[in-house]
Amino acid sequence: MDNISTAILAISLIVIMLGMGLSLEINDFKRILIHPKAIAVGLVNQLLILPLLGFLIASFIPVVPGIAVGVMILVACPGGPTSNLIAHLAKGDTALSVSLTAISSFITIVTIPFIVNFGLEQFMDQGQIIKLNVAQTIIQTFVIIVIPVCIGMLIRSKKQAFADKMSKPVRTASGIVIMLVIVGLLIKEKDHVVSYFQQAGVVTLVLNITTMIVGFCSAKLFKITDRQAISIAIESGIQNGTMAIAIAVFLLGNATFAIAPAIYSLLMFFTSGIVIYLGISTNRFFSSKNA
């Protein structure tokens, strides 16, 4: 990617995080005290189980090193604004989804460089490894994530009506920009895109489905409500593809690492549709049962 495309990607991510901040309140962080079990199960899935499953899946499904590293970058970026929308449409606990996204977004500022560097060490040849500088990456991620989110939250606290009015247009605009970035990546790699889609398509689809199933089952294992279990499943299986692409292109300067997150971002819409259908069906079943 050239410098202009990289700058557009960085700006797009900042706008996305600003849009997320416009929908957040301090109460979203306080919810950890109200629903500690659901929050704890969700965060364990996002921050521990997800990277572990990503590593195992990338290890056992034969893919080229660049795709495997892309998977590790993807699992380092859980949640994201899209997961909140999907949780809402699937009749999950939207407040829990928002809280998990908000909390994990702040925690991953520290965890991202370690998970990505681990992936680079495991899947790339020694001479090809370009490690992320931990301190520098934390600072860059802080600028890209925390500052825009805090600005968005500040705007919401002062001008809630304005924040409510602007949150949807901001999400829509950022979604259009990231789709253009994904299309640009695929065009740039057009000579290999069919091969990459065959490889990355399988590994990202398996990752997406497996993590959602594990997220839901782990929630039910701890006797968490169905609506909360749906949100935990979505937060476990829907990753922040935009952030993953930004790390691959902006921080590592390697478009090949962005292929898996880009293809995942496309496949996500199909699996999300199924999850939304199942969530609505489950909600209707229990509503009729309790009627």
pLDDT band at 2 (very low <50, low <70, confident <90, very high): low
> 3-285 in CATH: which number?
1.20.1530.20
pLDDT at 168 over 80: no
pLDDT at 159 over 80: yes
Question: Where are the alpha helices (H) located in the chain, listed in sequence order?
Answer: 3-22, 26-34, 36-44, 50-60, 65-75, 81-89, 94-123, 134-141, 147-158, 160-188, 193-221, 226-237, 241-246, 259-290
pLDDT band at 71 (very low <50, low <70, confident <90, very high): very high
239 - beta bridge partners?
Answer: 78
- Over pLDDT 70: what percentage of the chain? 84
> Which 8-state DSSP code applies to residue 90?
T
Please state the domain extents for the chain: 3-285
What is the spatial distance between Cα 273 and Cα 266, in angstroms, rounded to a whole number?
A: 12
Residue-wise pLDDT for 83-113, tens only, equals 877 887 788 887 888 888 888 888 888 899 8
How many residues would you count in the chain?
Answer: 291
What pLDDT score was predicted for residue 185?
A: 64
Residue-wise pLDDT for 231-244, tens only, equals 999 999 888 888 88
Least confident of 81-85, 116-120, 256-260: 81-85
Choose between 193 and 75: higher pLDDT.
75
Please provide the average confidence, as pLDDT, over all residues in the chain. Answer: 81
